Every structure is written in structure tokens, then in C-alpha cells.
Amino acid sequence: MTSKPTEQVAPERDEFAGSEGSKEQGLTPGSVLDHGRYRLLAKVGTDPRCDAQLWRAKDGVLGRDVALTILVGDRADSEASGNARRTLERAMHASTFNHVGVARVLDVVTQSPGDPQGVLGVVIAEWTHGTDLLDLVAEGPLPPGTAARLLQPLAAAVEAAHHAGLVLGADHPQRIRVTPDGEVRMAFPGPLAKATSSEDVRGLGAALYLLLTGRWALPDGPEDVPKAPVGPDGTIVAPRTLRPTVPLELSTVAVRALGSPDQTGTTGGVRTGAAVLRVLEQHASFDAPTTSVQAPSTSGDTRDNEVWKTEDPKPDQVKRKKLLISVGVLALATLLVVGWLATNLISVFTSADHPSQQGTIISNPGGQPGQPPAPPAAPIAITGGTQYNANGSPDNPNSFRLMYDGDPATDWHTSGYNQQLGPGGISSATGGVLTLERAATPREVVIDSPSGGARVEIHKVEGAPSPSADTLIGSGKLEAGRTPIQIEMTGKTEKILIVFTQLVQGADGRFSSQINEVTVTG
């Protein structure tokens, strides 16, 4: 795939010049908008579906770069003006929405007397340094684990926005950028006038399809980007068919989010960002392709020359902290074992000098004579998690990671239920699956929670998570604070399921509980 020119220094033609009585300059680098406040620097892309131009500009008042979504058209066209007005209204409503996966909307302005002819309005957002989403796959698709990891912030933003009653408009590749830290972000907010939340979900599917295959699967994409192939029946070919190394779950969620049947023929669509996010979390990894992407700069801002190297991603700080703790504990355990061995060896040689002690067998309770005891339990880092609910509707999936982020000041909590959990209620269990850093035999799980009186169960996960009697390895009633739960199991597991089976009733009469932090030792 050939890299596209991400930032045009000049348009191919003047889209607004030529009408009698209008200005002649059109939208070109150096043009100014909103009474001269915003000076255009470079054109980043075009969204023909709503006659929008995407520009990088300089805010002359605050002296910073901004992202402009400029809506253009004939001011005398009532339909075009109405659609532009609706887009501006929706963007204004989103100005209070803050999420790492979306550039913050700073302002929304209608056309000003000094603007070039044809400008109907402008959405101003903070500038996202990094590179274009299309440049990321210019030399080929990404490893599946990397694609899943990069897309998580955008999927979380879509789900959070929909919970807030907002639509992002994340269904065009040139509206999406990749930060130097390697996170996919909605960089040019401003949904179409009639866009619904389903378009955002389809956009997630198309973005995942693009990262996995290098092809765009929705109509009206950039002309120089290869389109997703379709089969004889007119449906989009699954990513796994094009790249057999793509996991089945990632391939399936991509095509179902697009509203297409998967390779098994199943047509059940994915309708929420949470459903996409769950699959991304399960397959996210630090796979390392051998390419790097550098964002071009036309304004002399050296920050945009930062290179995001996919072969050297920045590690997650929480994982790094937990890894360091684990290494430290293991080192301490090793020293204790070595010290124990040295002490017993000295005792053996000392007994040779004292006949009264000869023939004494050195024993250790619970172990074989002359062998060291089992090493002490060490922390097992939690590297990922997915919210689970027996009724299939997850509780607050976007905050589930706070259960294992290493910070007891943050928490994941259930929804508020009108009745207690149980077979006759709306759900029998709610919690989530935690992925361990390695296959291990857990000995103890400590749950830090203020929800004293809540009951939890811990299950091993061998396939699909299921809180059944066959998988139960521990249970207990929580105290307010830290509650240790002993684990009884043989063999090893890479995943455990922690679920509430009884919640705490609040002053409002509703049932809910929360977990601030979970630690596992084994």
C-alpha cells in the first residue's frame, strides 16, 4: 500500500473562488477564519459525506495549534445550511465530554463576515500530535495484538460517549489520528447531522479492519485507500480470510461491527462499543512490527516530528510497577531459600564435630527430609480484564480496569439493582475475568472493598467464563477493607473469574457493591 499525502500544502483547486462578489482566495494555507483568529497551516483530509475539510491551524489568540473541521457548502442551500447547523449543535453538546480517546472540543463558530466564501461553520478541537491513521498502515497491516491494543482508547471513548447520549462520528479514517504514545484518537470531532451511535460502532469495525488488513470497509472513504473486498454474495470478506494469522474473535468482531455476517455465516451484529472493547482487551499485546511512522510537519513544530515506533512501544506504567514488585518479591524469596540452605549445611558440618549430634536427620515440617520447604507465595500481576455479567449486559465495563490498576483510590462498581442478585433476579452474578501475567496456581486473592457484607466467588476459567460449582476455587464474605480469600485448586490457570453473588443494599434501597483493588499471590 502506498502512503498517501497526509497534509496537503495547497488544494488541487479553489473550491470557493469564481462566484461574483465572493472572495477569491478560498481555503488555502495562510487563510484566516473567525475574524482572523485561526490561520490555516495544512490540510489533513476531507470528509465528502458532509462537505467537511479537515485542517491544522494556528490559534492566534492562544498561540497553539488546533484541529479545524470546516463545514463548507452553498449558504443559499437550506439543506446544506441545516445539516451544518445540526453538526455544529452536536459538536457543542460534546464540548463537555472529556476522554483520552477523543480530542476535546474547544469552540464552535458559525460563518463570520471575513471568512472565505462557502464556509458554513467550524468545529475547533485541540490538536492531536502524532500521525494519520492511514499512514500507520501505509507499509502494510499491523500485528493483530498491536491493532487491538491501539484501538482500545477509541473503543472506550465510543462506549463512554454513547452512555452520555453523544455521537462522536468516528467512522472516517482521516478524522482519526495516532498519538506519539501509540493510542488511536478521534482527532476531528463533528458527527454528521443524521449520524447515530451505530455509525460509531461501524467506524470501530472499519478502523479495526483497516489496521488488520490495510483496507477500508465503509463507503465514501479516501480514494487512494484500497477498499475491502467483497464475496460473491456482496458481503465483506473477513480479515481472517485475507490474513490467516488474525484471531477468529478479532476477525469476527470487525465484520459484525460493520453489520456484515462473519465467516461462519452468523449475522448477529455488534451494536455497542463495549462489545468491541471486550474483544480488544482479550487480544491486546505488545506485538512488534518492524516499521515506524513519522508524522510530517509543515509548520516547523518539531513536536510533530516525534516518531512512534511500534517495535518499541511505551510500556504501561501500571504493568511496569507490578512487574518490578513481582521481581523484588521473587528476589527476596530466593535469598530466603538460599539462606535456609546455608544454615542447614552449616548445621550438618557442625554436627560432624559433635558426636552426640551424629546420626540426627535434619527435617523440615511438611516436606521431605533434607529438602528445602516450598518457596513463599509471590504476587502474580494482573495484566488485563474483561467485565462479566451472567445476564450478558456488563456493568460499567469502561472502569473495570480500575479494579487492578494498582491504585486503591480508584474502583470498579456494579450497577444499582432494584433487587438482590439471585436466580430469580435480573442477574445471578456480576464481576469479571482477570488475566494473570503467567499460568500459575493462585493461593490467595485479596479484595480491597468498602462493601462489607457482599459475597464473592472466585472461579478458574478454562474456556468461556462460567460461575459453576465445577470451577469454584474460593469464596467469602467481604469485610470493609482488605479481605483475603484462600484459593483451593490444583494445576495452573491463566485466568480467574471474580463475581459478586450478593450485593449490599444502599440507603436508596438499591443493591450495589464495588472493588477498589484485587491482588493475587501464588
Q: Are 214 and 137 in contact (CB under 8 A)?
A: yes
Q: Are 274 and 244 within 8 A, CB to CB?
A: no
Give residue 373's pLDDT: 56
pTM, to two decimals: 0.53
Across 237-241, 282-286, 298-302, which has the greatest mean pLDDT? 237-241
What is the mean pLDDT of the segment spanning 190-204? 88
Report long-range pairs for 296-302 (Cβ below 8 Å, ≥24 apart). 296/6, 296/7, 298/7, 298/9, 298/29, 298/41, 298/42, 299/41, 299/42, 299/56, 299/58, 299/65, 301/65
Decide: helix, strand or coil at residue 146. helix
Q: How far is CA 321 from CA 91, 283, 382, 434, in A?
A: 38, 22, 11, 18
Pairing, β 38-47 against β 52-59:
antiparallel
Q: Select from 135, 127, 122 the least CA-distant residue to 103.
A: 127
What would you report as the CA-atom Rg of the chain, rounded to the nearest whole angstrom? 29
Q: What ranges make up the beta strands (E) of 127-278?
A: 131-132, 176-178, 184-186
* Mean pLDDT score, 207-234: 89
- How many angstroms separate the CA atoms of 257 and 404, rounded? 28
Does pLDDT of 299 surpass 50?
A: no
The answer to whether the CB of 434 falls within 8 A of the CB of 498 is: yes
Q: Within a 10 A sphere around the Cβ of 519, how many other Cβ atoms?
A: 20
For the segment 471-485, the average pLDDT, to the nearest whole number, is 93
Task: Give 69's pLDDT tier (boundaries 50, 70, 90).
Answer: very high
User: What is the spatial distance between Cα 249 and Cα 148, in angstroms, rounded to a whole number?
Assistant: 11
Res 93 pLDDT > 90: no
Count Cβ atoms below 10 Å from residue 167 Cβ, excluding itself. Answer: 22
**pLDDT in the model for residue 322:** 53
Residues 406-415: what's their mean pLDDT? Answer: 89
Region 194-200: what's the mean pLDDT? 87
Question: How far apart are the C-alpha atoms of 255 and 259, rounded to whole Å?
Answer: 6
Question: What's the mean pLDDT in 454-476?
Answer: 90
For 441-454, write each residue's pLDDT tens digit: 999 999 999 999 99
CA 35 to chain centroid, in Å, comes to 39
Q: In this structure, how many other beta carbons lie within 10 angstroms of the beta carbon of residue 305?
A: 13
Alpha carbon 134 to its chain centroid, in Å, reads 19
Contact yes or no for 148/250 (Cβ under 8 A): yes
* Mean pLDDT of the residues in the chain: 79
Query: Which pLDDT belongs to residue 208?
Result: 95
Ordered strands of the 379-380 beta sheet: 379-380, 517-521, 444-449, 481-486
pLDDT the model gives residue 234: 83
Tell which residue, 159, 166, 55, 171, has the closest CA to residue 100.
159
Q: What was the pLDDT predicted at 10?
A: 38
**Model confidence band, residue 326 (pLDDT cutoffs 50, 70, 90):** low
Instruction: Determine the Cα–Cα distance for residues 256 and 236; give it in Å rounded to an integer.
Output: 10
Confidence of residue 223 (pLDDT cuts 50, 70, 90): confident
